[in-house]
Amino acid sequence: MLATLRISHFAIIDALEVSFEPGFNAVTGETGAGKSILISALHLLLGGRAQADLVRTGHDECAVEGLFRPLDVMAVDRRLLAAGLPLCEEGQLLLKRTVHREGRSRASVNGGLCTLAQLAQVVRGLVDISSQHEHTSLLDEATHLSLLDLYAGLGPDLAAYRVAWDALKEAHQARERLRSSEEERARRLDYLKFQLDEIERLNPEAGEDERLVAERQRLAGAARLREATREAEALLYSSDASASELAARAAQEVGRAAAIDPALQAVADSLAAAVAQIDDLARDLGRYSRGLEDDPARLDEIDERLDALKKLARKHGGDLAAVLRRQDEMRREAEELSSHDEALRRAEEARAKALEAAQLLAAALSKKRREAAGAFARAVVDRLSTLDMKKTVFEARVSSRAASEDDVEAGAVRLCGDGQDQVELLLSPNAGEEPRGLARIASGGELSRVMLAVKRVLAERDPVETYVFDEVDAGIGGATGEVVGRMIAEVARGRQVVCITHLAQIAAHAQAHYSVQKSVKLGRTHSEVRRLEGPAEREQEIARMLSGHLTDASRAHARELIESAAGAQGSRPRTVHETG
C-alpha cells in the first residue's frame, strides 16, 4: 500500500507530506483547492510524463517521493533484482521522481537511479488510478479483453500461451526471411561471394598484421641494428681491453688467491662462468650482425601487404580480427543461402509445429473466456442494479479477432499476443434498447457507475494493492452516491483505496479523511493537505460538503451520514487514532 506521499515545489504545493492508512482514505476540499494535484504527483511518481510547468514558480525543480509497503515484498524484490536496483529494506519500497524546470527528470528506487522503463517495471501492480478523465479506458476495446481475463483468472493460461506465441512469431519470421524473393536471395549470394573472394584472394592470417609491422621495423632499422650489435660485440670480445679479456684477468687473479684462501673459490668460479657467458653473448651478437641484410624489395612487399590488409580492415570492421570474424559470418550465410530449399523446409516444419502448439492454447483460452463472459456480465449487472441502473443490460461479447498486421494467420483464425479473441463490453442502460459499445451509448455518469461496478467485481481477483479514484462520482446524485460509497468501502476491505470526492455520501464511508485547503500567504497561493482529527472535524467537513456552510441541520445530517456508513460497515466511526 501507499504509506506516505511527500511533495515539494509541485504546482501550487510548496511542501507537504501525507500518510495514508490501509482501507478507505477520502480526500475532500473545495473545487480548485488542489486535490487532483495529488493525483498528478502520484502519476509522475509512477512513471508519468514529466512537464516543466509542474515546477512551482521560483524554484528550479520539484520532487515527489512515495513510501510503499507492498503486500508481496518478495514479488517486488524479484522485479528489483531483475532491474538491477536495490532491494526493499524492512518491507518498504521508496520511489522518488524529480523534474527540473528545463524539463529534465530523474527517477530513483530505494536510492538507486533508474530509467522510466525500470520504474514502470517495479511499480507494476502497486497502484491503479481511475479518474473522471480516465473513463476513456473503458471506451478502449483493447482493455476489455484484459478485464475479462482478470475476472476469469486466466493469468497462468495467458502466460503459457504467450510463450507459445513468442515461439510461433520467431518461427514465422524465420520462415518469412527464407521466403523472400529468389532474385533478392541470388543478389545477396552474389554479394557475399564477391566479398569472400576479395578476402580469400588476400588470404589474411590471424595476427599477420602485427608480425608484418615487427618485420618492417627490423628491415627499416637494419643499418642501426647492425652498427649497434657490432659495437656491442667489439666491447664484449674483439676490441682491446674488451669485457671478456678484463673478466678473464680478474678470474685468473681470484683463482690464484683462492689457492691461498679457499673462501674465494666460489667467486673465482662465478667469474669463470661470467667469462664464458660474455663470450657466448659476443658470438650471438656477431651472428646477428652478420645476418642482417638491407632488403628494399622485401620492405616494399611488406608495405603493400600492410596497405591491403588495412583497406580490408576498414571495409569490414576496423581491424584484421574483425575481417576474419566477418569472413566466418559471410561463409555461414552463404552456405545457408546455398542450401535455401532445405533451410526453408526446416523453417516450414518449425513454424507448423509452433503454430499447432499456439492454436491449442489459444483455443483453450477462447473456451474459458466464452464460459466466463456470461458470469462476468451478470456480476457487473448485479452491481449496477445497486447503483440505480436496475434495467441495465451489460454484455461481454467474445468474438474472433479482426485482421491486424501483427497477427499470424492460422487458417480461418488470426492469432496475436493475447490469443485469437477480441472482447467488447456492451451496454444498454434503457429497457428495450439493443446493447451497444460503451463509447456509443454511455453518458459520463453511467461510465462512472460501470467502472465502479467492474472494479467491485474484479476486486477479489485484481492483484493491485492500491486503488485511487479521482472524482469518479461525476454525474452521480446523492442517493446513488451513498451506494457508491458503500461499494468503495467494500472494495477497500481487501486493499487500500484513496478516493478524491465531492460527495459527502461517499466521504462518510471513509476510515481516514483528509481535507485539502488552498490559501494565499504573502501573495503566493499554497495548497495544503490535513488529516481530520477526531469525529468533530470530520463531521464539520462533511457538513460543509452537504450545504456549503455550517448549520445545525447540516451538522446533524453529516452525523447521520457518518453513523449510517459505520452501521453499513458493521462498526462505529473510527477516530484518527483508531484508524489503521
Q: What is the pLDDT of residues 221-253, one digit of tens each?
A: 777 887 788 888 888 887 877 888 888 888 888
pLDDT bin (cut points 50, 70, 90) of residue 572 is very low
How far is it, in rounded angstroms, from Cα 572 to Cα 562?
9
Residue 250 lies inside a defined structural domain of this protein? yes
Query: Mean pLDDT for the chain?
Result: 84
Q: What is the mean pLDDT of residues 118-135?
A: 76
Q: What is the mean pLDDT of residues 488-504?
A: 88
pLDDT value at 44 more than 80: yes
pLDDT of residue 261: 86
pLDDT value at 47 more than 70: yes
Q: What is the mean pLDDT of residues 558-580?
A: 62
Top-confidence range, 318-332, 370-384, 564-578: 370-384
pLDDT bin (cut points 50, 70, 90) of residue 392 is confident
Higher local confidence (pLDDT), 128 or 539: 539
pLDDT value at 318 more than 90: no
pLDDT value at 133 more than 80: no
Q: What is the pLDDT of residues 263-284, one digit of tens each?
A: 889 988 898 898 899 888 888 8
Q: What is the pLDDT of residues 156-178, one digit of tens each?
A: 999 999 999 999 999 998 888 87
pLDDT of residue 350: 94
- Of 71, 164, 154, 130, nearest to 370 by C-alpha is 154
Residue 244 lies inside a defined structural domain of this protein? yes
Residue 412 lies inside a defined structural domain of this protein? no
pLDDT of residue 111: 92
- Of 339, 354, 452, nearest to 394 by C-alpha is 452
Q: What is the pLDDT of residues 80-121, one digit of tens each?
A: 998 899 999 999 999 999 999 888 899 999 999 999 989 988
Give the length of the chain: 580
pLDDT bin (cut points 50, 70, 90) of residue 576 is very low
pLDDT of residue 63: 93
Residue 130 lies inside a defined structural domain of this protein? no
pLDDT value at 517 more than 90: no
Q: What is the mean pLDDT of residues 349-357?
A: 93
Q: Which three cell numbers stand for residue 394?
A: 451489460
pLDDT bin (cut points 50, 70, 90) of residue 443 is low
pLDDT of residue 573: 41
- Of 135, 158, 148, 137, nearest to 396 by C-alpha is 148
pLDDT of residue 360: 94
> b or e along 182-217 (b: 16 or more beta carbons within 10 Å of the residue's beta carbon)?
eeebeeebeebeebbeebeeeebeeebbeebeeebe
Per-residue CA distances from 299 to 216, 289, 304, 319, 544 (Å) = 6, 19, 9, 22, 99
Residue 36 lies inside a defined structural domain of this protein? no
pLDDT value at 139 more than 80: no
Residue 283 lies inside a defined structural domain of this protein? yes
How far is it, in rounded angstroms, from Cα 23 to Cα 570?
14
CB within 8 Å of 417: residues ≥ 6 apart: 162, 165, 406
Q: What is the mean pLDDT of residues 20-25?
A: 92
CB within 8 Å of 571: residues ≥ 6 apart: none
Domain that holds residue 267: 202-333
Residue 328 lies inside a defined structural domain of this protein? yes
pLDDT of residue 404: 59
Residue 239 lies inside a defined structural domain of this protein? yes
Top-confidence range, 49-58, 293-302, 372-381, 385-394: 372-381
pLDDT value at 137 more than 80: no
pLDDT of residue 62: 92
Specify the pTM.
0.61
Share of the chain above pLDDT 70, in %: 92
The total number of structural domains that make up the chain: 1
How far is it, in rounded angstroms, from Cα 569 to Cα 580?
15
